[in-house]
Amino acid sequence: MRFKYTLEFDGTKYSGWQIQKNSKTVQGTMVKCIRTMLDETKGKSGYGDFYGSGRTDKGVHALAQTAHLECETMLAPHIQKMKMNDILPSDINILNVERVSNNFHARHSAVARQYLYVISKRRNAFEKKYVWWIKDTLDVTAMKTLAELLKGFRDFRSFSEPDPNNKSTLVDLEFIELTDTEDKIYIRIKASHFLWKMVRRIVGTLVEAGRGNIGAKEIQKYLKSYSKDPAIFTAPPSGLFLEKVFY
């Protein structure tokens, strides 16, 4: 049996999504709670695999991460949701559980992913863990103009950590949208997939553009050939949320 899980989490206290030795991760916490849930089940149950749609870095949050669970259980999806939320810590919450085809794969079946980054224009007593507070006044119009240069099927090698396996750094960035409000700037980015630290480096680069430190010439250079500059601009993880996975 295969079940599709949709969950939200506060990544502040976790070393990312993926299971790691000697580190607290979201996937690791989920696996422990799933085993507890299944062990408590009377009758036939068996634990299989639990896969997410992709990794998130340390400190990054999710509004709707998708994962799938492969197991044999008599528990209906809504019962799984109820039991899991009774077991899980308060910073992870199951939004939905549904039975899916055995062909469904949380990662491989996904056609696109969307991230949200939140920048705060002011010091905030409540949201430090969920925003990047920038004291400088940013030129959002300039940020929007340069964001357009990133759209399309492009090489984002400059916006990612070097991959020892030499995997392709070509990504189809479908859209990037900036919304300016009284005290926040919201940046939404949707793409076929994302490279390691790609969103945070795009955001950091756009912030530098908003500060007036870089322009179209630099953006075009980063896309044409590898540059270490975006790594210097990397935005903190606190303001980043995995917002949606598309299937």
Which of 100, 123, 148 is the last residue before a domain boundary? 100
Q: 99-149, pLDDT tens digit by residue?
A: 999 999 999 999 999 999 999 999 999 999 999 999 999 999 999 999 999
Q: Is the pLDDT of residue 32 over 60?
A: yes
* Residue 60 included in any domain: yes
What torsion, rounded to 10 degrees, do the Cα atoms 87, 93, 99, 101 define? -120
Residues 120, 79 share a domain:
no
Residues 125, 229 share a domain:
yes
Q: What sign results for the dihedral spanned by CA atoms 133, 139, 144, 145?
A: negative
Q: What sign results for the dihedral spanned by CA atoms 33, 47, 24, 245?
A: negative
Tell me the two tokens of residue 53.
Answer: 């749609």
Q: What per-residue confidence (pLDDT) applies to 167?
A: 85
Q: What per-residue confidence (pLDDT) applies to 247?
A: 97
Domain, as residue range, for 82: 2-100
Which of 100, 128, 143 is the last residue before a domain boundary? 100
- pTM comes to 0.93
Residues 220, 122 share a domain:
yes
Average pLDDT over residues 62-86: 96
Residues 160, 94 share a domain:
no
pLDDT band at 155, cuts 50/70/90? very high
Residues 191, 88 share a domain:
no
Domain with 220 in it: what CATH number? Answer: 3.30.70.660
Q: Is the pLDDT of residue 156 over 90?
A: yes
Residues 241, 122 share a domain:
yes
Residues 94, 128 share a domain:
no
Domain with 44 in it: what CATH number? Answer: 3.30.70.580
* Residue 106 included in any domain: no
Q: What per-residue confidence (pLDDT) applies to 46?
A: 57
* Residue 105 included in any domain: no
Which of 34, 69, 100 is the last residue before a domain boundary? 100
Q: Tell me the pLDDT of the chain averaged across its residues.
A: 94
* Residue 186 included in any domain: yes
Residues 94, 214 share a domain:
no
Q: What sign results for the dihedral spanned by CA atoms 207, 162, 194, 226?
A: positive
Q: What percent of the chain has pLDDT over 70?
A: 96
Determine which of 29-33, 71-75, 93-97 has the lowest per-residue pLDDT on average.
71-75
Residues 88, 62 share a domain:
yes
Average pLDDT over residues 177-202: 97
**Annotation says 57 is catalytic:** yes
Q: What per-residue confidence (pLDDT) applies to 180?
A: 97
User: Averaging pLDDT over each range in 37-46, 62-71, 161-170, which range is the top one?
Assistant: 62-71
Q: What per-residue confidence (pLDDT) applies to 245?
A: 98
- The catalytic position among 39, 49, 57, 229 is 57
Tell me the two tokens of residue 123.
Answer: 């010091």
How many domains, the chain?
2
Average pLDDT over residues 25-39: 94
Average pLDDT over residues 81-94: 97
Residues 240, 128 share a domain:
yes
Q: Is the pLDDT of residue 45 over 60?
A: no
pLDDT band at 41, cuts 50/70/90? low
* Residue 107 included in any domain: no
* Residue 41 included in any domain: yes
Residues 124, 220 share a domain:
yes
First to last CA, the chain: 19
pLDDT band at 163, cuts 50/70/90? confident
* Residue 141 included in any domain: yes
Residues 127, 212 share a domain:
yes
The burial of 183, by beta-carbon neighbours within 10 Å (0-12 exposed, 13-18 middle, 19 or more buried), is given as: exposed
Q: What per-residue confidence (pLDDT) applies to 200?
A: 98
* Residue 86 included in any domain: yes
